[in-house]
Amino acid sequence: MFLLKISFLFGEENYNIKDIKKVMEELFEYHIENKILAPKILKRIFKIYVEEFDFEKRYFLKKELISFLDLDEKKIKKIISNIQKEDFSDFFVLNNSIFKAIKRAQKNRLLIKKNLRDLLEDNNLKKKNSKTNSFFVNNKKELFQRQIEEFKNFYLEHQKIVNIDSEKKMEKLFDLYNRKKNRIENRYLSMKEKGEHFFVLQFLKAFAKSLDIHTSFFTNEEAREIRANLEKEFEGIGVVLTETIEGVMIFDLIKKSPAEDSKQIKKGDIIVFINDKNIEETPFEEVLKIMRERKNGQISLGLKRNEKIFYITLQSRAIEMSCERVSFSFEPFGEGIIGKLVLKAFYENSNGISCSKDIKKAISILKQKGDLQGIILDLRENSGGFLKQAIEVAGIFLKNGIVAISKYSNNEIRYLRNLNGKSYYNGPLIILTSKVSASASEIVAQALQDYGVGIVVGDDRTFGKGTIQYQTVTDKESKYFFKVTVGKYFTPSGRSTQVDGVKSDIVVPSIYSSYRIGEKYLKYSLPSEKVEAVFYDNLKDLEPKLKRIFQINYLPYLQKVVTYWKKMVPILQKNSAYRLENDEEYKDYIEKINSKDKKIDLDFQMKEALRIMKDMIFLDIYSRYRLNEEFSKAK
């Protein structure tokens, strides 16, 4: 599927061999660990280059890759020397092997086409093979079988969109499948004649990824996509497109977009005309390019529904991705409410939209709904975003103080501070996490845990991404778009979230708990380490003049470590464990998780988080009662 905020994937850039050296030098200069083209980096580049082409291992035989993936020391030295002289002949030899593998796959697809009728009658066609191939096969027969499995999986995925119930539709489906495969393959085949740009792109992608798992090189298109996700805003008409046997289909409409606001376009409509041009026989990428060609921001579409064609003109505009911004709800409890804040990313844009503002607004609204007795901050689906916003979100629940520490390759230390002076909310707080909570969300969760202002509930640990990336993606004028790992993050306790993640105070498994998810399972991840704790900020990084200002306006309002909630954790753990042990619904939930059942209707993790929050509120009331009682006796 394609969201129409994008362009043709490999358009616009025009790289040449000279660009490789420039990018390599720049990334080596920035990177926290890898500074030269060492043998281990070269080996990784070859491996990643192959994987980028044949990740599912459906093109190559094992013996065809030995000369590229099993390099001896002498060969490695020679290739490194060649690359330094801008000689990439060793990769051109690999490209020739790719060309041969493509031609073989294309011949195999012709054989599949001849046997479509047999496939349609095959009962096994209904059984999807979702297993990832972990090794290259030894013979052509096994390779052909993998290619058949790929087409079967394509059929089953497409069957969800359009019913493939005849031989004619099956032939159409195969043609669609073949076109999609050819589009990818033709990018490689184009390197034979005028494909320097595509080779440079593929090489730089492999090189960047070889430095570590979070360093990447992007096309202009990919950079636009990332910007839109970070800023929660993009320019367009708000349609999600997919290619089907019926043509280019409207798969979905973006909320509050020109397309949805028109009330005329529906999911399942087929695009027939764009700006009076018939696009029924136009390749999908070309359709995407045509969709971007707007006169005065307008685009005219001819859509087919139930064999009837109708026309509509839409005005392109900035669209907020509101469905991905902060959402909130509440649960009545006693004489008040428990607020639930769902934050899926740390976002901000030039129009003043930011997640920290959205959270403050949500808390303000919740306070108007009733006595806000507790908040559950849901970061379970949050994989990160802008660091500045993570600091500001943590600051909503903290007074002044260091929220995060960054350490770079030259051992330079920087301190990222919250300067609000007072917290926006200081009541019972649960930070709800999962194995996919990553990066900036881990900084927030662990910083709040360090200061003791909230407790972490969720999977035993979070994802474990504690590295810092410098990126050029948000600079629209940049010549090259990349992100590169330049350092590591630490929270006030001096702990890093790298690899180990944030450990929960109370473990309540998420739907991801049975999966091998996390930094420790990824290739080329960097190790964890510790720095000195900074609960008391000595301002040692500040200039004398600025330090005096901070001493007057900042230090008196410094956040102290709160032990109040931490002391409750053993009781909260015990209560939660007892509930879970005696809850049949929980046992059923765990059984479904362990069997990787995707149909889990009940959000049991949130259910138990609410019960833990109620325990926190009761214990808080009881503690205050005991304190008042002791104070009265003292009088």
* Residue 314 identity: L
What 3-state class would DSSP assign to 354?
strand
| Structure-token pair, residue 44 | 């990784």
pLDDT of residue 286: 87
**Rg of the chain (C-alpha set):** 28
The pTM score is: 0.84
Contacts of 155 (CB under 8 A, 6+ apart): 119, 125, 164, 170, 173
Walk me through the domains of the chain, giving residue ranges and CATH numbers: 35-211 (no CATH), 233-320 (2.30.42.10), 322-622 (3.90.226.10)
Own/partner contacts of 416-419, CB < 8 Å, gap of 24 or more, are 416/387, 416/391, 417/391, 417/537, 417/554, 418/391, 418/392, 418/394, 418/559, 419/395, 419/554
pLDDT of residue 123: 59
pLDDT of residue 122: 67
3-class SS shares of the chain: helix, strand, coil, % to 5: 45, 20, 35
pLDDT of residue 7: 32
Q: Is 555 exposed, middle or buried (0-12, 13-18, 19+ CB in 10 A)?
A: middle
pLDDT of residue 11: 47
pLDDT along the chain (635 residues), means of 10: 40 82 97 96 97 95 96 96 96 96 96 82 62 88 94 87 83 92 91 83 97 95 84 81 90 89 93 91 86 80 93 87 83 96 92 93 97 98 93 97 94 94 94 97 98 98 95 92 96 96 97 94 93 95 95 96 96 97 93 80 92 97 77 61
